[in-house]
Amino acid sequence: MTSAAAAAACIFCRIIKGEIPSFKLFENDKVLAFLDIQPLSRGHALVIPKTHAEKLHQVPDAELAELLPVAKKIAIAVGAENYNILQNNGRIAHQEVDHVHVHMIPKPNAAEGLGVQWPAKETDMVSLKTLSEIIKSKM
């Protein structure tokens, strides 16, 4: 599917164009924020760049720079004392809509909001040092 075809079929691009209704919380020339229609908790919102991009590394930096400040404003407006900021890339990383989006998910109690498993792995300082050098050499 071409980029133009993907954008035309994208539910978030259609929300940006006003073809699909949403409960907008914020909008400027770079980003749009709206309430999630399948919320994990009260105030669960999405912040999306207006440029169609499936993965974070494909979004222009100027739009990326807007995502977290808007998520922060929503967290404050909702009155969320505890919350998660979540951004997934790819199906096996739990991305459901192929348009970059940041979730702001209030965590008011143990039962509501995002549940997270964190299967930490054992490692050692030598392996971490080697990996850090490999990553830095490619940046």
Measure Cα distances from 35 to 2, 16, 126, 138 in Å. Answer: 29, 13, 45, 37
Q: Is 101 a catalytic residue?
A: yes
Provide the residue-wise pLDDT of the chain in tens; the chain has 139 residues: 677 888 789 999 999 999 999 999 999 999 999 999 999 999 999 999 999 999 999 999 999 999 999 999 999 999 999 999 999 999 999 999 999 999 999 999 999 999 998 899 999 999 999 999 999 999 9
Q: How distant is the alpha carbon of residue 32 from its chain centre?
A: 12
Residue of 44, 52, 99, 101 marked catalytic: 101
- CA dihedral over 106, 109, 112, 115, signed as positive or negative: positive
pTM (global) more than 0.85? yes
| Sheet arrangement for strand 24-27 | 24-27, 31-35, 45-49, 102-106, 83-86
